[in-house]
């Protein structure tokens, strides 16, 4: 059965579930219809529809404290409500590697290194050809390492810097390529 807890810092205006859903709660607000004339209006709660951040994580617009509405990642709301405050220097880690699975049993606080290790295990680590500015491919790196051609001529032929060639050969970059 889905469990709900109040979002930390939301003045009990929002709840988050252990399945990673966020909802606003039923409340009554005061609206000024015309100067000096106020009306109380019932606002039913609803489940909020998350949007994707630029990095692919799910976020919702919530009002925390007296601040204006801001987008907050759902994963942090879940962990803070069910596990506790974010420890200094820790990240939210997804155990299965899915950025959109914000169920409590899939989340944990972890170090940046453990998060990176997880990404390697899941196959979601940004390395090699997945890096948006990569100038080489794994196939080219293998060919470079076995060619024996001088770095300068390789660089000129491939349209990259000598440093790029040297780093690929010495495994400063592309270390994962065998």
Q: How far apart, in whole angstroms, are the C-alpha atoms of residue 84 and residue 109?
A: 10
Confidence class of residue 162 from pLDDT cuts 50, 70 and 90? very high
Q: Structure pTM?
A: 0.71
Domain boundaries defined on the chain: 4-125, 129-169
Indicate whether 127 pLDDT > 80. Answer: no
pLDDT digits (tens, 9 = 90+) for 107-121: 999 999 988 888 878
Maximum alpha-carbon separation in the chain = 84
Q: Is 159 left (phi over 0), alpha (psi -120 to 50) or beta?
A: left
Q: How far apart, in whole angstroms, are the C-alpha atoms of residue 31 and residue 13?
A: 17
Q: How far apart, in whole angstroms, are the C-alpha atoms of residue 175 and residue 158?
A: 20
CATH class, 4-125 region = alpha beta
Q: Bridge-partner residues for 32, per DSSP? A: 38
pLDDT digits (tens, 9 = 90+) for 7-66: 999 888 999 999 999 999 998 888 888 888 889 988 899 999 999 998 899 999 998 888
């Amino acid at each position: 059965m889905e469990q709900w807890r109040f979002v930390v810092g939301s003045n009990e205006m929002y709840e988050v579930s252990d399945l990673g859903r966020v909802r606003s709660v039923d409340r009554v607000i005061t609206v000024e219809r015309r100067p000096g004339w106020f009306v109380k209006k019932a606002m039913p709660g609803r489940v909020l529809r998350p949007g994707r951040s630029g990095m692919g994580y799910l976020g919702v617009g919530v009002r925390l404290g007296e601040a204006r509405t801001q987008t907050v990642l759902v994963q942090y709301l879940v962990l803070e409500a069910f596990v506790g405050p974010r420890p200094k220097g820790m990240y939210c880690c997804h155990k299965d590697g899915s950025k959109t699975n914000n169920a409590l049993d899939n989340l944990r606080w972890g170090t940046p290194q453990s998060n990176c290790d997880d990404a390697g295990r899941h196959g979601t680590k940004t390395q090699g050809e997945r890096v948006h500015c990569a100038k080489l491919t794994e196939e080219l790196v293998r060919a470079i390492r076995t060619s024996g051609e001088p770095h300068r001529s390789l660089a000129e032929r491939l349209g990259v810097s000598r440093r790029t060639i040297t780093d690929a050969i010495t495994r400063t970059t592309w270390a994962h390529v065998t």
